[in-house]
Structure formats: structure tokens, C-alpha cells
Amino acid sequence: MKIAFVPIDNRPVCYTLPKLIAEIDSDIEFLIPDRKYLGDLNKSADIESLFEWLISLPEIDAAVLSLDTLAYGGLIPSRRCPETFEEIRNRIFTLKEILEGKDCKIYAFSSIMRISNNNINEEEKEYWSMWGKKIFEYSYLSHKTNSEHCVETGIPSEILDDYIETRRRNFEINKIYLEWQKDGLFDTLIFSKDDCAEYGFNVREAQVLERMGAYVKTGADEIPLSLLSRAIDGCVKICPIFLEPKCKDLISNYEDISIESCVYGQIDIAGCRVCDEDDADILLYVNNFKNNQGEIVMNIGTEEFNGNFVVPKKPYMIADVRFANGADNNFIYELFKNKIEDKYFYGYSAWNTSANTLGSLICAAKIKFLARKYNPEVFRKLQVTRFLDDWAYQANVRQVLSIPDIEQLNLNMKSFEKVIETILNTEVNVSYRYPWKRLFEVEIEFN
């Protein structure tokens, strides 16, 4: 099967992770543009080169596309770029012509522009450092009261006008995509929303799109992986098992739906089916949270796993979502008391949000289960990556670093590497780098 894939940007979770997951099945020919054409924290994608890459593709079975990359240059540029609606509209109609010339199924997603509740402008326009919280408040109250005229904010008019116009531009572009979906251009089109609150312009836009017939999902970075999973022929039956069954109605950080709804939604979007335990191809253990989801880097605590965990003698995978962006150390120690056998183990993930964790986990498990030419070495690399990133780095080493320091990182990761070598019965020979020169993400490279 030949699949073309245009990522959100060049982060490892967006670029190298999909490649690694696809390589679990050597029968999949995974086509992805050169990393240099994709955007990063401060640079937009080279859209012209990406269009040329799409045009030059050989005959393919499916294309998985981040429309934000092809319209704006990436997810972050979709919030920052100054181009007008007319300029973006002309660009995407060029894209439409290219896609209409491809005899394949097209799986695409576009984001509903997020609105973060902070004054951090790292991924936003410059004025967010002063006015981010105020703009969030204006958005929240305007939606809640159904009136934009009764909310006093003190935001300078030129800043508020720019923000509103950027939102309007992106929203109108999304409505064009929806019309193309109705005309049959896309096999699947998803509109993603992340960093959600109960109210806000993003929530209102999602509601409008849903009324127009759109498929809206909470999440963002994992959605290309969910669409990759959906593009793979075959249905896998999955039984979710919540380790805190009385708490599955609680809502994760950065999301607006319960963890149970998130699990069921991610199974559905991946082209899989929820079933009972006796009928399951794979069991999905969800290490969910009591009371609230913790977040280690933000010093938000929660009750850690406190029980026994024995792996079953049938295929299983583990979504560790007790904390956002990082493993639950108590659960990991309990898991590592077990023998992890490739025959039954279909993956572990604790990557960032609950949706991120579930989407990436289910994609890899589905590809492994249905693989025509299963590559166990690649699957082990994937699990080494997840344990090193989600457990060793995010839940432990990152907490003792104040700046991106490769020398200190290498030193602190050594003891975790030894544990993973023993648990997965494989040599761990890796190096690390900070691709965006910040602590938030680390890239693990196999030597």
C-alpha cells in the first residue's frame, strides 16, 4: 500500500513518529516530503515545494494531509501568518486542482484556530504576551453571553480587530473545505479543536461547522496519525478497560469531553470498533485519573496508580493518561514487574494530551495487528522511543532541567536507558537533541 503523508510541521511527533509507525509494516510504502520543506516554531513550510512534491507523486492509494500546512505553512503559522483570506483562498484552490488529479482516497484535517488562556506568545502573535488572557476572556464571555458588545476588555481596538479578522479568515477557509467534502473531494475530513474551554469563539465555530455537517474532533497533533490508521484497510476490534472505572466521565486537561468519550472517539476515527473483552482483537488499558488529570511539568498533582497490574495473555496496549504529557511513575514501576512479550504487547503511550496519547497508540497497534510484513525491530524502536520520551524524559529528567542542556540530558537519561534495555530485551543506542531548542519536546535518534 502506498500512502503519501503531509505532516503539521517538522517536530519529531509529527514527522519521525509517523514514519516509524508506518514502517512497522514493511508492506506499506510511506511517502513523506523532505523535512527541510516543513515548518518549525519560527519558520513556515515551503508551500510551493510541497505542492511540487504532491504533483510529482507516483500512483498512490491514499493521501493523509494537514491542510494547515498546505494553506498557511503549518499549525502555528495558521495563527500568525498575515496573508489575507483572498490569498489563502487562491492557494487552496490550486491545491484542489492538484488533488483532483490524484486517483486516491484523501484523508485531511484542518484546525479550528485555538485560543489559549495565557500570555505566552511562543506559538501566537507577538501581542499575545500582553493580551492573551484578555483575548481569551473576551472570547469566553462573548460566547457565554451571546454578545460581543457587552464585554469590556481594555484590549486596543487594532489588536482585537486583527485577532477577529484572523479568526474570520480561518473560519471561512474551513467552510470552503467543508463544501469540498460535500462534493466528494475528501474521503474523510476532520476539523480539530484543541486547548478547549467550555465557551469561546473556537467552541462556537465548532458548533456552527457541526450544524453544517462537519466532523469535529477534540485534539490536534495526533489526528494525522488517526487518519493514517483510518487509511489502512481492515477493522480492529478494541475493548477499552479503564483502570479507574468510576472516574471515566472526568474531563482531561486541554479537552472538553470525558476521557471515556475521548477513548471511544479515537477508536472510531482510527477505523476501529469498540467491543466486549471476549470479542476483542486488542485490549486497551487506560490508566485514567481520579478527581483531576495531573500535569507534572506544571506541578499539578493527582492520585497516582495504586494497585496491581498484570498483563494478559492476549494482545494489549496501554494509554497512560493519568498525567498530561508524561507517564505515571507508579504505573510504570508496576508494569515493569511484568514480562513484556512482543507476541502480546501492542504499545505504550503517555504523549501529551489524552487525545495525543490515544491517537498515536491506536494507529501503531492497528498497523502491527494487520501488518502483512511485520517488522519487530521497528516496533521495538517505537516502544523504546515512547518509554524514553514519555517516561524517562517527560516524567522525570525534564523536571530537573532548567534549560535545554544536551550534556546533562545524556547523563540523566543513562539509568533509564538501562532499565528499558532490560524490560524490552533490546540494546538502546540513541542520541538526543532539542529540535525546537526548548524543553517541551526532545528528539530521540537511533545510532
Does 270 score more than 90 pLDDT? yes
Measured over the CA atoms of residue 403, residue 405, residue 408 and residue 410, the dihedral's sign is: positive
Does 129 score more than 70 pLDDT? yes
Work out the average pLDDT over 157-162. 94
Question: Whole-number mean pLDDT of the chain?
Answer: 95
8 A C-beta contact, residue 174 and residue 189: no
Cell of 143: 460566547
Model pLDDT for residues 77-124, shown as the tens digit of each residue? 999 999 999 999 999 999 999 999 999 999 999 999 999 889 999 999
What is the reported pLDDT for 195?
64
What is the reported pLDDT for 438?
96
